[in-house]
Amino acid sequence: MPSLLRLRAAALTASAVLLSTLLAGCGDDAKDEDLTRQDLSWKGCPAPDAAQGGGTSPSPLPDDGEWQCATMKAPLDWDDPKGDTIGLELIRVRTTGPENARIGSLIFNFGGPGGSGVTSLPAFAEGYEKLRTRYDLVSFDPRGVGRSEPVICENDQQLDAYFQQDATPDDAAERTELVDNTKEFNDACEDNSGKILPHVRTTDTARDLNLMRQVLGDDKLHYFGISYGTELGGVYAHLFPSRVGRAVFDAVVDPTQNPEQGSLGQTKGFQRALDNFAEDCVSQVEECPIGDSAQDVKDRIARLLADLDRNPIPGIFPRQLTQTQATSGIAQALYSQDFWEYLTEGLEQAYDGDGRILLSLADAMNGRSENGEYSNITPANIAINCADDKPRYDTADVERKLPEFRAASDLFGDYLAWSLLSCTDWPVPGAANDPDVSAPGSAPILVIGNTGDPATPYEGARAMVNELGKGVGVELTYRGQGHGAYDSKNPCVQGAVDGYLLDGKVPPTGTVCT
């Protein structure tokens, strides 16, 4: 079961890592001139395929801005840039401004790792209309994701069983079953996607970004990274500091943490968000329907999860709501304050024996569509993290760490501790304990931390600023709720971001928005 920290895409859900010694020898430009000079054939975008999450072709924007898609060739193995290539799927919408005002392309990565940028950008694009006055908005499916050589592991029926399993084992038999299921999943990834698995590290995607910059015709990379996208941006800045243009990191991953530290930090972050949710509910003018006090709200949730561990309830026929899926559904709702009302309603229904809303929220977390098809966000997420993360944990490691995780959250602690087993028996070795994002000589990077962020806790922003180095990271604090800050539509946050990306105005470091 993947860690919630690893599912930090825009649709979900932040920590991939790598070894700086692997970065030696990388110059500013791709080595293969044919690839840097390739012409992209931009055409109307097809409907998303199953790996991207399905659905319909993106609709034109209100000003009739048409979405265009293209496939960019990149080396399968960046250590052999003249060898086999793979196709990376790109999407763009052109700027609304005059050509003489155009700065270039603004490339987005919405996180995950494993989230499809080709589907995410159209979903959120109306919120970036002001940025479009001077940029073409561009996003992409990173290697291993969506239409870009997707990692495929188990089929839809197997994934249904995978997500229903007991991810918080209580005895030896349940521990053995969890380990066996994890190995079965990982073996399926090797069987179905063995060719791409060694080549989905964050360093590989950072090099893809640099190739993309060149192919799009930009001297500098102008970049908006969200969640895991901040880590990708930090790695890019480390590799290519002289090529960083105007860049924003929102919902920032702590680059100093190994998987255990990252999961523990997120355990605290989700508990903090749950505390805020409970306090908000009981502070409403009308009576909170799921508890008389904030503590009562949390106690009732804990009892529900304990009951579901023994006796799942009906969910979306024919599936039941299990303890694991209820935990996932609750976590999904905590990603945005806009979802809190659905969490309240879902809990009300679950207390009456109806698990449909919480299961729907869990499906959103896990990438399951209404027709029962799964996107490849979970396989890609695990593949990227396991290729990046050097540590491997066993059941004895988890059992030693459980008391600390439980102290951080009696609701999320067990789930996130046991999720550390995801990379056990993974066929590709991990690169490092944490990424090198030091970027001396880079242009300023605006780094935004949200004090109420559950998935990428606020403390990560300060750590990113420190690691980027003196004169590079510019810290901005948003005192809000949910995952990320710009999409909250807070005028102060958006004003600072727009001012930098559009006009090059760097806000004072330490700026606080409320």
Residues with a catalytic annotation lie at 227, 453, 483
User: What does the angle CA 302 – CA 253 – CA 377 come to, to the nearest 5 degrees?
Assistant: 70
In DSSP notation, 2-56 reads --GGG--SSS--------GGGGTT--SS-S-HHHHTPPP--EEPPPP-GGGT---
**What's CA 310's distance to the chain center, in Å?**
31
Report the alpha-carbon distance of residue 407 to residue 25 in Å, rounded: 44
**H/E run at residue 247:** strand 244-250
> Among the residues of 194-322, which ranges form H helices?
202-215, 228-239, 259-283, 294-310
Burial zone of 472 (CB within 10 Å; 0-12 exposed, 13-18 middle, 19+ buried)? buried
- Dihedral angle over CA of 40, 41, 42, 48, nearest 10: -100
Structure tokens at 387: 């290729």
Q: Name the amino acid, one letter, at 87.
A: G
What CA–CA distances, in Å, run from 221 to 41, 116, 125, 432?
A: 21, 20, 19, 25
What is the gyration radius of the CA atoms in the chain, in angstroms?
Answer: 22
Report the alpha-carbon distance of residue 313 to residue 322 in Å, rounded: 7
Whether the bond between 113 and the residue before it is cis, its omega within 30 degrees of 0, is yes
* b/e per residue 182-196 (b: at least 16 CB within 10 A): beebbebbeebbeeb
Which candidate, 126, 118, 104, places its Cα nearest to that of 55? Answer: 118
Report the alpha-carbon distance of residue 445 to residue 472 in Å, rounded: 6
Dihedral sign (CA 216, 473, 143, 43): negative
